[in-house]
Structure 1
Amino acid sequence: MHKLIHFADLRNFYKDMREALKAANRRAGAQQGLVTKARKKIEGLQQQLAAVEQERLELLAYRERAEQEAGQLAELLPRFRGRLLQVQQIEQALTNLADVKEAVDQQDRQSGSPTRQSMQDLKRAVENLLERADAVDFFEDEPESGHDPQS
């Protein structure tokens, strides 16, 4: 009988050992799953970091190009300001010519012909417009060398 009890104890012991082994394998599998999950997460974060680094490099290159273009524009800006002033002067001369032409047309309608003075005014307005237009160098290739186009 003693051997049967001993055998039953051994059987229970092995059963407990098998259960303990199963539990240990479950824990090991769970830990392995955590390791795999953590490894995948680390790889994903490394990919995101590489993408962010690539984007940073692209932004730095874009910034450098933008700074170069801004420098080029800064060189051209004084010339464009001069051209803008000249164009505004042409616009003013055109407005003046339109006003004088309207006055001449009214005189022509009222009295049948414009006066000598109004014709002189019209001629001066046309000459002023032509002078303003001739002063503009729209197609100049070389930058101005520090002189005013009006002088």
Structure 2
Amino acid sequence: MREALKASNRQAGAYKGWVTRWKTTAEGLELERKRLEVEVETHLHDKRVLSTQLEAISKDYQSMGTVLAKLEHFENAVDELRRLKLVADEQSLSAGYWSANAQNDLRSGVDDFLEAVDQLMDDEWVAPSQSSTAS
């Protein structure tokens, strides 16, 4: 009888051990699930923050496009003025003076340059289309 009681208690203890192990496993799984929920929420929050930052960067980049167009227009005006000056200087070396056409070209180049400077300073300036700058 004593041996049967020991065996019964041993079996009941084994069942309790299994129950305890499964409870512990279930609690661990529940903690892992909660940790993953927090991680998902953190990632969603980070995604919202990054989305907001991306929108701000996009707006800044769009405004930088206008500044870049202004600078390119300015550089083109400087290059054209430099080219006109070189042509006028070559004519001066060969003929000894600037012709009326060279003087008019230089005036026009200076006017274009000053216009480019004004446009560079103007916040509402819109870049000319590529077809008009190519001609």
Q: CA deviation at 1:51?
A: 1.9
The Cα shift of 1:57 comes to 2.1
Q: Distance in 1 between matches of 2:121 and 2:12?
A: 83
The separation in 1 between residues aligned to 2:92 and 2:72, in whole angstroms, is 32
Percent of aligned pairs sharing the same letter: 25
Higher relative contact order structure (alpha carbons within 8 Å, sequence separation ≥ 6): 2
Moved over 6 A (4+): none
Q: Which residue number in structure 1 is paired with residue 112 of structure 2? A: 128
Q: Which residue does 1:96 correspond to in 2?
A: 80
One-letter amino acid of the counterpart of residue 45, structure 2:
A
Q: Report how far residue 52 of structure 1 moved.
A: 1.9
- Once residues 112 and 50 of structure 1 are traced to their aligned partners in structure 2, the CA distance between those partners, rounded to angstroms, is 89
Residues paired across the two proteins, number: 125
Residue 41 (structure 1) shift: 2.0
Return the letter of the residue paired with 1:48.
E
Q: Which has the larger radius of gyration?
A: 1
Deviation, 1:132, is 1.5
**Aligned equivalents of 2:104 and 2:116: distance in 1?**
18
SS in 2 for 1:53: helix
The Cα offsets for residues 57-99 of structure 1, whole Å up to 9 and x where unpaired, read as: 2233333334444555666666444333323322332343444
Matched, 1:54 2:45: no
* 1:126–1:25 distance in 2 versus 1, CA, 3 Å: farther
User: Which one-letter code corresponds to 2:115 in the other structure?
Assistant: E
Question: Where does 1:19-98 land on structure 2 (aligned, <5 Å)?
Answer: 20-70=4-54, 72=56, 79-98=63-82
Q: Whole-Å Cα distance in 2 between the matches of residues 65 and 137 of structure 1?
A: 34
2:6, 2:121 → 1: CA distance? 92
Given residue 15 of structure 2, which amino acid in structure 1 is its aligned partner?
A: Q
Tell me if the contact between 2:81 and 2:106 (Cα under 8 Å) persists in the aligned partners: yes
Residues 102-124 of structure 1: per-residue CA shift (max 9 Å, x gap): 5456x279639674444654454
Are residue 111 (structure 1) and residue 124 (structure 2) matched?
A: no
Superposed CA RMSD:
3.8
Q: Give me the whole-angstrom Cα distance separating, in 2, the residues matched to 1:53 and 1:114.
A: 83
Deviation at 1:131, TM superposition (A): 1.9
Q: Under a length normalisation based on structure 2, what TM-score does the superposition of the two structures give? A: 0.58
Partners of 2:95 and 2:34 in 1: CA distance: 84
